[in-house]
Structure 1
Amino acid sequence: MANAFIRRLEQAGTLADLEQKVLLSLEFGTQELAAHQAIIGQQAEPVLCLMMRGLACRYATLPDGTRRIAAFLIPGDLFGPPAGFPSELAWRVGTLTRCSVAELPRPDLCMLSSYPGIKRALRWLMRDELNRARAWLLNDSQASLQRVAHLLCELQARLEAVGLAGQDGCELSLSQADLADAAATSHVHISRILQTLCGHQLVSLGRQKLTITDVRRLRDLAGFDPGYLAARRAEFEPDDLLVSGLT
């Protein structure tokens, strides 16, 4: 999945051949994790990790014990707070499916930031995450049907960008409970929403699988504009928060 990481970084602009070779030459120590397993706990030491395979999420456990998912993590995503951030402020990160995760030594990432194209892309990754966080916040104001449709559209668009989904649809290993916790709705209500989407032939449900079957119509329903996922090239220059936090 090093190629997924390269495709993720190249959303900020094309990397030079040398930069791609450097990324492909990195040797990641990966760990295989089962579904529904913690990757980063609330009190864990801050680490930087790379999603190699599978689907994970950032989440918080609310005072009443319920889980709220705040972001999905796909292959090619980096996650974990920059150095210097208090670990108690970090969201937990956990797997939703079987995952391969690589821990990235900070010296390696500092070395990567010496390459202009990679440095630009690392800045862009931080900005992209902020854009998606804003979109999720705005999406919370929509009705639950549109809210769920928007989450599915974003996930499809992001997977397509790294070569893991087609533009006409994709198969997702998401449970109804995962979607409910991402959409801030009940597990009973999410079942009704998915049945409505199935009735309109926008998605189909299988055993532990949800398939988006009509991307265009689902986007129309959600009012989904993928423009916030296509924002390129951070406008701020060298010593930004992400790169300086790696030192």
Structure 2
Amino acid sequence: MKVIFLLCFVIAFVHSSFVRFSSFTELIDSESFGQFTATGQQGIVDAHNNLKSSIAKGTYVAKGTQQKPGANLRKIKWDNTVATSAQNYANTCPTGHSKGSGYGENLYWSWTSGTPSALDSYGPKASASWESEFQSYGWTSNTLDTATFNSGIGHATQMAWANTYAIGCGVKNCGPDATKNNMIKIAVVCQYNTPGNYINQPIYQEGATCSACPSPTKCESATGLCA
């Protein structure tokens, strides 16, 4: 089975969705919802929390550079309301970012000439693709200035954003794509609350692991995250 991951498309659309200058808040609900099963949802949540945990503990290495530990990284939970929004947008088989959702957003596309894998598998694949930006482009500044954002790590920084506490994702088998020799297209949309990627803001607060957890969260010693 031949699979093609066109990450350049993902990167090309990063600018339209991620640069933020104000904040949004929503209530969270961790019950299962959407096209991803509970197993698929957990895989996505785990991928995000594993990244945030390694950053919080000061063990994360991005292209050879070990990052400083984080004091305020919040643990991610699945949110049905966010998942509804993400699934609704995934159902449109998008070619670019949504507008006006109030959430942060990461997109991922995969094309295959054979039978697609189970849809649940695409959540972790998407998460790994986004995180790989840190390995491909490095992470040289903890402040998301314009240069850092434009370096190509916008999906990874949304995954790592300290204040983001909720995620919901959708997936859609879009069928044959005439622009890609009728290969089967799979679209993944993940949306985030609160959004990350505020220009000139820190991605996380450097300091002793989970030493500055925002109220009402508390330090979860096993992960180093604020939960």
Decide: shared fold, TM above 0.5.
no
Normalized per residue, the structure richer in helix is 1
Q: Normalising by structure 2, what TM-score?
A: 0.29
Q: Which protein has greater RCO, CA pairs closer than 8 Å, 6+ apart?
A: 2
